[in-house]
Amino acid sequence: MEQLISTCKEQGLRITIGLKTILSVLKKAELPMSLQELEVNPKIAEICDRATVFRTLQRLEGIGLLRRLNFAHSGAKFSLNTGTGHREYLICRVCGEVKELKMSCPVHQLEEDLAKDSGYTAMTHELTFYGFCKKCQ
Ligand SMILES: [Zn+2]
Ligand SMILES: [Zn+2]
């Protein structure tokens, strides 16, 4: 959290209680969150209106701290871009349900091979699988 705040400061963002709250909610979130989900989060709703949440997300995205994932049916969702770790998602094409894969990483070896080949370091990746969930079949 300290790290996130200092990155915001370095990038010239004004550190408000709203910004801190949104960061901490996103940090604890297991899955990417939509603007609407953030807006109705009790901690955020207490301090920020929709416009403030929206502006804050834009600013965080602007400095590269936030990733916007565009899901066909559920719209844009946001998650913190901490530059570490990797993510694999499973998304329903009909209802837009998003799940994070719990199995061991399917492309770990590929990533290592790529790093060796390309000389890249600090690699990370995102994988999204689409399909129809059980309810929507
Ligand atoms: Zn579904
Ligand atoms: Zn992975």
What's the CATH code of the domain at 126? 3.30.1490.190
8 Cα to the center of ligand 2, angstroms: 27
Instruction: Answer yes or no: do 30 and 69 share one domain.
Output: yes
Rounded Cα gap, residues 51 and 96, in angstroms: 24
What DSSP designation does 2 have? H
Please identify, among 40, 65, 82, the residue that sits at the C-terminal boundary of a domain: 82
Rounded Cα gap, residues 34 and 74, in angstroms: 8
121 Cα to the center of ligand 2, angstroms: 15
* Confidence (pLDDT) at 106: 83
Tokens 């969930």, residue located: 133
pLDDT at 18 over 70: yes
The residues with which 69 forms a beta bridge, in sequence order, are 77
What residue numbers bound the domain in which 119 lies?
83-137
For the chain, what is the domain count? 2
Which pair of tokens denotes residue 49? 């209106």
Asked if residue 69 lies in contact with residue 77, where contact means CB atoms within 8 angstroms, the answer is yes
98 Cα to the center of ligand 1, angstroms: 9
Rounded Cα gap, residues 105 and 91, in angstroms: 17
Instruction: Answer yes or no: do 27 and 67 share one domain.
Output: yes
Instruction: Answer yes or no: do 24 and 41 share one domain.
Output: yes
What is the average per-residue pLDDT within 53-62?
A: 94
pLDDT at 41 over 90: yes
101 Cα to the center of ligand 2, angstroms: 9
pLDDT at 54 over 70: yes
* Confidence (pLDDT) at 98: 84
Instruction: Answer yes or no: do 110 and 49 share one domain.
Output: no
6 Cα to the center of ligand 2, angstroms: 27
Q: Which residue has the higher pLDDT, 102 or 12?
A: 12
CATH number at 4 reads 1.10.10.10
How many C-beta atoms surround the C-beta of residue 12 within 10 A?
8
Please identify, among 82, 109, 126, the residue that sits at the C-terminal boundary of a domain: 82
